[in-house]
A and B are shown apart, each in its own frame.
Chain A
Amino acid sequence: MSLLQIEGLGIDFGGLRAVHDVGFSLKPGEIVSVIGPNGAGKTTLFNMISGVYAPARGRVVLDGEDVTRMPPHLLARRGLSRTFQNLQIFQSMSVLENAVAGHHLHERGSVFADLFALPAARRRSQASGESARALLDRVGLGRAAEQEAGSLSYGALKRLEIARALALKPRVLLLDEPAAGCNAVETEEIDHLIAQVAAEGVSILLVEHDMKMVMRISNHIVVLDHGEKIAEGEPAAIARNPRVIEAYLGAQATEAKHVDG
């Protein structure tokens, strides 16, 4: 039984077919990575699944419900949460407030209780604060809780965004390049974090350029090139697939050489 089902998804920008007829599915607790060269349509695919773009064709089905073209805030309420490659953080709030904002959905109480700071309201905000702190500890930002988010490093903001997404208690988590801009130690931490979250039953859809990380943690890989799915399968099979090597790993190997040399 799949939790998230993508069927024949496609979108055009002007005359350009950005993504065409892409389909795959995620089971609970599964980590699926979407890889492909730059411009292959990975982020566009993410934007369609998460309601940022309205797809021209195809369907997104979340736990049996058709959620195609549903706006992000309603998807968040249904348990689909995401992070962005180029960060969407509440910059002028503190780190803790950012994480608390993720609890927004799960806070329910009367405006009356809030206004008069009744014990119920105080307990509620205390509970949000505590679980937000626990999440910050989990992503290694516990000490930075009181800092202004805008003052954090890029890598730390990446982890803060993950913490905020987790605060929503999602069933499906879309991570767009979570390890980009992180050093080797941070990457490994994020790696562990993703594996842990998946072990708790959250399905994870990942876009990532760090191939070592992708090969290590993915259960399943979907390869895009020029907006179309060219391969899909287990990491080992993908690494051997000649079309993938030609389209993606070949280019990646050249890039890697540049970096090394």
Chain B
Amino acid sequence: MPELLQFLLSGITVGAVYALVALGFTIIYNASDVVNFAQGEFVMLGGMITFFAHAAGLPLPLAALIAIIVTAAIGVALNKLAIEPARGAPVVSLIIITIGASIFIRGATQLVFDKQLHRFPAFSGDQPILIGGATILPQSLWVIAGALAVFVCLWLFFTRTLIGRAVLATANNRVAAQLVGINTKYVMTLSFAMSAAIGALAGVLVTPITLTSYDVGLALALKGFAAAMLGGMGNPKGALVGGLLLGVLEAMTAGYISSQYKDAAAFVVILAVLFAMPQGLFGRKSTDRV
């Protein structure tokens, strides 16, 4: 039994990272129907900038804060320089722009920083905590708490606040949103800033466990995207559940079958779910009027 618990705990840790990436997808998708494939690069930037700021002598919390702010600024720049000028282009074109942006960010990071693997110390030490025969790293608890906190904040943001509802209204119908006085450009800028900040936070939390380098973003983006699709694109609850489910699935497959098959098993389950529920577990029905 401790075996099962161990797999479950490591699955939840990995799943919490996927959930954080998926939550980042949620915001930009909600505001613009665009799936931002540069989301993984935000995670990478969060880790890399924190490492280099910390290495330059800044205390870790300050380095992390700077990383989050700088990444948010890069998110805003991505929107202003690449997405906004292409406004009016079909969503598919915008998605391709985000793929291009992710390649660009990866290349630029290689030049500005380096190609090495980096790690900074865990927040609360590396002494594993024993739970019923299984162990968990204190840093894992930070990751899980981070995912839960971001989820709660986003859920409150979208359901309770006027600006959160303005984001949803913009996604639903941009012209109508402008008609009722919503500044849709501001909504877009805000959602890129928030997505980038959440991505960077994920990078800060996870780097002590998984290490970071310029090229970790792509894999994270794919897994986060899969998690968001599984849960239902655009729904914070779906992102959280989808991420955790994907992580646990992977851990179980790796533990009981073979780690060779962990990606395959996860994607087979996702395909099966999407066959039965094309909108994902918590997705809203799309109602396009012809």
Contacts and interface: CB of A to CB of B under 8 A. Distances in A.
Interface stretch (B86-94, B104-112, B158-166): B158-166
A76 B179 CA distance: 6
A88 B181 contact: no
A104 B184 contact: no
A148 B161 CA distance: 22
Interface stretch (A16-24, A89-97, A234-242): A89-97
B62 to A, nearest CB: 26
A102 interface: yes
Interface stretch (B143-151, B170-178, B238-246, B259-267): B170-178
Contacts of B175: 52, 72, 84, 88
Interface of B is mostly: helix
A115 B162 contact: no
A76 B173 contact: no
B181 A92 contact: no
Contacts of A164: 176, 179-180
Interface in A59-89: 71-74, 76-77, 81-82, 84, 88-89
A93 B172 contact: yes
A109 to B, nearest CB: 7
A114 interface: yes
A105 B176 CA distance: 13
A76 B289 contact: no
Query: Could you say which interface size class chain B belongs to?
Result: 20 to 34
A146 interface: no
B169 interface: yes
A84 to B, nearest CB: 7
Nearest to A104: B180
Interface in A168-227: 168
A111 B286 CA distance: 29
Given A88-B175, A93-B172, A76 B181 contact: yes
Contacts of A105: 180-181
Interface string A101-135: 11011010101001101000100000000000000
B288 to A, nearest CB: 8
Interface of A: 52, 71-74, 76-77, 81-82, 84, 88-93, 101-102, 104-105, 107, 109, 111, 114-115, 117, 121, 148, 150-151, 164-165, 167-168
16 contacts: A52-B175, A71-B183, A82-B179, A90-B169, A92-B172, A92-B285, A93-B169, A101-B165, A101-B176, A104-B162, A109-B162, A111-B163, A114-B160, A114-B162, A115-B156, A167-B180
